[in-house]
Amino acid sequence: WYQGEANSTPERAGFYHHQLSLLVTDWRKRWGYDFPFAWVQLPNFGAVGRDWPGVREAMLQTLKLKDTGMAITIDVGEEKDIHPKNKQEVGRRLAVWALGSVYGQKVATSGPLPAGHEVKGSEVVLRFTHTDGGLVAKGGELKGFVVAGADNQWKPAQARIVGDTVIVSHPDVKAPVAARYAWENWPTCNLYNGAGLPASPFRTDK
């Protein structure tokens, strides 16, 4: 499944989780069994007046349905073309999910997914699954994280990898309450796992 662009208006993006969940459950009911189902998370794109992060979040939430998967494509989009040309990589990421999750091959099936967080003093500790081979900051310094306190003023975070976690902070945010990663239509972000698959955008403040 590779849709969702038209659902990215600010009024509709938050509802997409329910729509996608209903689609999967309805089709499974009609076919008579819970077949594996995967989709493509919306890529990076320079949309104006749209909420692509909200749709990406909806797709991430729908992974709660059993036997579902998601190809994370936050690094294959094109800023001014809603239809990115590199479909081969999109297909490859769907394929590795199927090979590992459906056919039992020993391959990395997803990029890093958020698995919880904890505020420790002036830092937020973000936990991840699907770190296959360890978390990696591709190309150097880790980018794409922001952090905020109770005033909801988002600051670009200093971020470092510690095992299967990323620890984020900002000197002006003494008491953080939330963090986000790649929370823009066209984000600058570079968190990957050891298999070369990118991390999903997410936020802790919903």
Question: Looking at the predicted structure, is the pLDDT value of residue 206 above 90?
Answer: no
Domain with 193, as residue range(s), is 113-203
Q: Are residues 33 and 91 in the same domain?
A: yes
Phi and psi at 174, nearest 5°, equal: -75, -30
CB distance 159 to 142 below 8 Å: yes
Q: Are residues 84 and 141 in the same domain?
A: no
Residue 34 is predicted with a pLDDT of 97
- Exposed/middle/buried for 186, CB within 10 Å: 0-12, 13-18, 19+? middle
| Count: domains in the chain | 2
Q: Are residues 84 and 120 in the same domain?
A: no
Q: Are residues 189 and 128 in the same domain?
A: yes
Question: Looking at the predicted structure, is the pLDDT value of residue 127 above 90?
Answer: yes
Question: What would the mean pLDDT of 14-29 be, rounded to a whole number?
Answer: 97
Q: Are residues 19 and 79 in the same domain?
A: yes
Q: For residue 96, what are the CA distances in angstroms to 9, 52, 81, 93, 179?
A: 31, 24, 26, 5, 29
| pLDDT tens-digit readout, 165-196 | 999 999 999 999 999 999 999 999 999 999 99
- pLDDT over 90, % of the chain: 99
| pLDDT tens-digit readout, 77-117 | 999 999 999 999 999 999 999 999 999 999 999 999 999 99
Q: Are residues 150 and 198 in the same domain?
A: yes
Query: What radius of gyration, in Å, describes the C-alpha atoms of the chain?
Result: 17
pTM to 2 decimal places: 0.95
Residue 163 is predicted with a pLDDT of 97
